[in-house]
Amino acid sequence: MKQVHSPEVAAGTWTLGVVSLAAGLVLGLVSAGCGQRKTEGGAAPAPSASAATSAAAALPATSASAVQAPPPPPSEPVGSGVSSFVAAAQTEACKAQSGDIATYLQRGEVTVAGREGALAASWLIKLAANKPGAQLAFAGFALDAKQVARARGIGTANETAPRIFANGSGWTLVWFDETGLAYTKPRWETAPAPVIEHLSTVNAANADDVALAATPAGAIVAVAPFNMEKAQLGLFQFAPTDAAAPAVQALGATHHAHEPRRPAVAADGTGYTLAWHEGDGRIVVSRFDLAGKEIDEAYTLAAAPPAGAPTRERVNLVATTKGAMAVWIEGDKILARAVDAAAHPGEKTWLVGRGRAPALAPIGDGALVVFLGQEGGKDDQVLAVKLSESGEPSATGMRISDGTGPVKDAAAVTPAGPRLGFLWAEPMSNGVSTKRAILRTLESSCVP
């Protein structure tokens, strides 16, 4: 893939710190978080070969401006939320297939990615009691949930959930370790051991302020804090599938942001949609083209909450055929709002349901929200609700887990050709603290 440089950043290139890890490293971790912003009105300095100066060389300084958005969204979400769910395992059209991919786990962070004909998963394994951090595992599966690439250790990590992405014919695994943002491209074969690389511009202290997404061309786009004041969010790409492309490419930075934090990013064929939380509590959305140029205005996705309002949790984004879908939680309310291809928020904010730990995947022209909620009188079940292109939830949702026990950790979801893959960790039995990781696949068309 030929990388397109913004005129503002063409003179600078982010440098990449590369660290190879020995083949003996065992299971570890991957993570995604949120980011920061940019300023306006300065020429890009000459490129630097130093990791310490690469961020300054890649992106110019600009003056931040407060977000002046159209009227705020409705004060109350539309609808009453989905409360009726059918069981995936008992729905014949789903052709559900499941398997335990790991057992006796003491941690529950999982991630899954899919493409036509294959799934890849990664999860964390607790280190010895006297050692901090975790180990990162990786394995591959067919669409019937049967293992085709045996589990193996990739490296050590901090205790942030990993992220895995399908790119081209392979995979990119991303996590945070003691050095910072680490990534590798694992293969089905166990040898040779994959080379682990680091983005020297993103350190472990920023883990909660880094957002990640896969681009249609296969590279990974990251949004991370930029400049000394951390008052901007910078965009860059890494892990390209084209061997001739730069290993790391600076794209641009926000200039319509004020104290941005906890970002989310979605990538499509024409650019990038970014959302983030402002210092005053608003959620703001903006649009960048493929060259990294931000549009002339950012928009309020969710107004600042009033004093005493329920806690607002981090926004999630996924690209759709019409733009993007944003989902966030206020208290126990899961809210959704569509965003078009120019980052204009949709007319309505919808109440999807009640629960926690949402994850998103594209489905049709809309999105699928997967979360933990109550169903059949049992708490913490893995539930899924389909959203239309406008963000409106379907009348009926689907219970993905079996309902035999609570699922305490966030579930993951991915499209994989005509099927969907779901991965979660749950206690192995009542009264037992160790967990098993369960992979379940089903036909996308069966989701109501």
- The closest of 48, 187, 173 to 111, measured between CA atoms, is 173
Cβ neighbors of 228 (< 8 A, separation 6 or more) are none
Q: How many CA atoms lie within 13 A of 258 on its CB side?
A: 12
Tell me, what DSSP letter sits at residue 295?
P
pLDDT higher than 80, residue 68: no
Q: By three-state DSSP, how is residue 68 classified?
A: coil
Rounded to the nearest 5°, which phi and psi values hold at 444? Answer: -60, -35
Lookup: tokens for 37 = 């912003």
Q: Is residue 8 part of a domain?
A: no
- The closest of 169, 184, 157, 194 to 239, measured between CA atoms, is 184
Tell me which amino acid residue 367 is. A
Cβ neighbors of 250 (< 8 A, separation 6 or more) are 9, 12, 13, 14, 58, 59, 234, 235, 236, 292
Tell me which amino acid residue 195 is. V
- Asked if 1 contacts 240 with a C-beta cutoff of 8 angstroms, the reply is yes
| CATH code of the domain containing 115 | 2.120.10.70
Cβ neighbors of 248 (< 8 A, separation 6 or more) are 13, 14, 15, 16, 199, 201, 236, 237, 238
Report the C-alpha gap between 260 and 256 in whole angstroms: 10
Q: Which domain holds residue 267?
A: 17-42+62-429
pLDDT higher than 90, residue 7: no
Q: How far is CA 410 from CA 123, 338, 437, in A?
A: 12, 23, 12
pLDDT value for 70: 55
Q: Which helix (H) or strand (E) holds 58?
A: helix 54-58
Q: Is residue 90 part of a domain?
A: yes
- Say whether the peptide bond before residue 71 is cis (omega within 30 degrees of 0): no
pLDDT value for 446: 97
Q: Which helix (H) or strand (E) holds 54?
A: helix 54-58
pLDDT in tens, 397-444: 999 999 888 999 999 999 999 999 999 999 998 888 899 999 999 999
- Asked if 399 contacts 415 with a C-beta cutoff of 8 angstroms, the reply is no
Higher per-residue pLDDT: 298 or 11: 298
Residue reference for tokens 């959704």 = 336
Q: Is residue 280 part of a domain?
A: yes
Higher per-residue pLDDT: 426 or 15: 426
pLDDT value for 206: 79
Lookup: tokens for 361 = 């995947």
pLDDT in tens, 24-67: 222 222 333 333 333 333 333 333 333 333 433 444 433 334 44
pLDDT in tens, 97-121: 999 999 999 999 999 999 999 999 9
Q: Is residue 357 part of a domain?
A: yes
Report the C-alpha gap between 206 and 112 in whole angstroms: 23
Cβ neighbors of 244 (< 8 A, separation 6 or more) are none
pLDDT in tens, 207-216: 889 999 999 9
Residue reference for tokens 């000394």 = 228
Report the C-alpha gap between 399 and 179 in whole angstroms: 39
Report the C-alpha gap between 92 and 34 in whole angstroms: 40
pLDDT value for 304: 92
Rounded to the nearest 5°, which phi and psi values hold at 290? Answer: -65, -25
How many domains does the chain fold into?
1
Q: By three-state DSSP, how is residue 438 classified?
A: strand
Sign of the alpha-carbon torsion through 277, 278, 279, 282: negative
- Asked if 145 contacts 164 with a C-beta cutoff of 8 angstroms, the reply is no
Report the C-alpha gap between 24 and 271 in whole angstroms: 39
pLDDT value for 75: 58
Q: Which helix (H) or strand (E) holds 287?
A: strand 283-289
Higher per-residue pLDDT: 20 or 217: 217
For the chain, the C-alpha Rg in angstroms (whole number) is 21
Q: Which helix (H) or strand (E) holds 134?
A: strand 134-141
**Mean pLDDT, range 290-300, rounded to an integer:** 91
- Asked if 348 contacts 363 with a C-beta cutoff of 8 angstroms, the reply is no
Report the C-alpha gap between 135 and 177 in whole angstroms: 10
Q: Is residue 54 part of a domain?
A: no
Q: Is residue 48 part of a domain?
A: no
pLDDT in tens, 362-381: 999 999 999 999 999 999 99
pLDDT in tens, 162-191: 999 998 889 999 999 988 999 999 999 999
Q: Is residue 51 part of a domain?
A: no
Q: Is residue 274 part of a domain?
A: yes
pLDDT higher than 70, residue 73: no
H-assigned helices in 198-352: none
- Asked if 233 contacts 258 with a C-beta cutoff of 8 angstroms, the reply is no
